[in-house]
Structure 1
Amino acid sequence: MNTASTAPSNTDGEAARIRRAGADDAGALALVGAATFLETFAGILHGRDIVEHCRRQHAHAVYADWLGDASAALWLAETEQGAAPVGYAVLTPPKLPLPDLGEHDLELKRIYLLSRFHGGGVGRGLMRQAVAEARTRGARRLLLGVYAGNARALAFYARNGFEQVGERRFQVGGNTYGDAILALGLG
């Protein structure tokens, strides 16, 4: 879906719009990626690990590469006033340690949203975009990895029909953490 959509307001009454990200959006995606990772994991993960992870995984070049890859799809959520980036979603071919990984699987590599916008429909809007794109591409299953200690994210995914199908170890900086691998059947 290439059209922009408007998500309901957050609890502060500020609406956000969701649109397909383009080549010029790498900087905005990198900024909101690092900001949401820091906001989510400060006080949970070691600070040095967060900084190192963001330096590597939320670099401008990471998003520029995805934006230049025809097999990836990205969406950006922005405030309606001033178009400040507040969230995004990334859909890619899967790279998860599952024994039954197949050609009809896609991975929701990232779906991040600043906490100020939680509960207002923006996350659901990003999820809808990713699921619709996965179906358009003929995917039978949408997969994702999520930190096993992130109760809020796990609850969001459960509300959206995802179920746990595996686990993996995930490196953040100098430490390894446990992730749950979740799947949504697309029938």
Structure 2
Amino acid sequence: MRIESWRLAPADAGDAGRLALVGAASFLDGFAGIIGGDAMVAHCATKHNAEYYRDLLAPEGSKAWLIEAVPGGAPLGYCVLTAPDLPVAGEGDLEVKRIYTLSQLHGSGAGAAMMAAAIHAAREAGAKRLMLGVYAGNERAIGFYRKYGFEPVGKRQFTVGDQVCDDLVLAMTL
């Protein structure tokens, strides 16, 4: 079922449970068949729980947005903008630390709305560059980011269970 009606809303630490729910669902949806089931469940329990998102949004300057279904307000996607935690980040950089939507929203404009909000907020904060990490095998997401001018600037690895995955680090000049 494709969801046709949604809205973009600012989010904060009080929305941590909603962010965690969408984060875990999106991670499972995106990595099923790539990462083993037990490893995915364990990863979601630690990297997609409410406490993780409260901590992510705690630093001053961190921002988040939720995509919510209309009507009803069910969380369908989110984007978080934070200080960077990337190996090639420098002074004046900010990071899109996850921009996830449920697959029913792909092609709906929800990702574009969140990216526009993140770019606007990064410019308002005086950032010089906006960065993000993306799974190297996620061609759909890489194509999406390239439309905004993101280019590869490095690589990093992340571990889920005993599986090591490769990320591309992308950046765009603001």
The structure-2 alpha-carbon separation of the partners of 1:162 and 1:149, relative to structure 1 and needing over 3 Å to count, comes to same
Q: Distance in 2 between matches of 1:179 and 1:63?
A: 21
Shift of 1:170: 1.1
Shift of 1:69: 2.4
Match of 1:67 in 2: 57
Contact 2:4 2:108 in 1 (8 A): no
Contact 2:3 2:105 in 1 (8 A): no
Q: Secondary structure at the match of 1:75?
A: strand
1:85 aligns with one of 75, 85, 107: 75
User: Unpaired runs of 5+ in structure 1?
Assistant: 1-10
Contact 2:8 2:114 in 1 (8 A): yes
Identity %: 51
Q: Distance in 1 between matches of 2:39 and 2:3?
A: 34
Match of 2:110 in 1: 122
Q: Distance in 1 between matches of 2:126 and 2:54?
A: 25
Shift of 1:51: 1.0
Q: Secondary structure at the match of 1:89?
A: strand
Q: Secondary structure at the match of 2:152?
A: strand
Letter in 2 for 1:122: A
The structure-2 alpha-carbon separation of the partners of 1:13 and 1:30, relative to structure 1 and needing over 3 Å to count, comes to closer
1:34 aligns with 2:24: yes
Match of 1:110 in 2: 98
Shift of 1:13: 5.8
Contact 1:21 1:67 in 2 (8 A): no
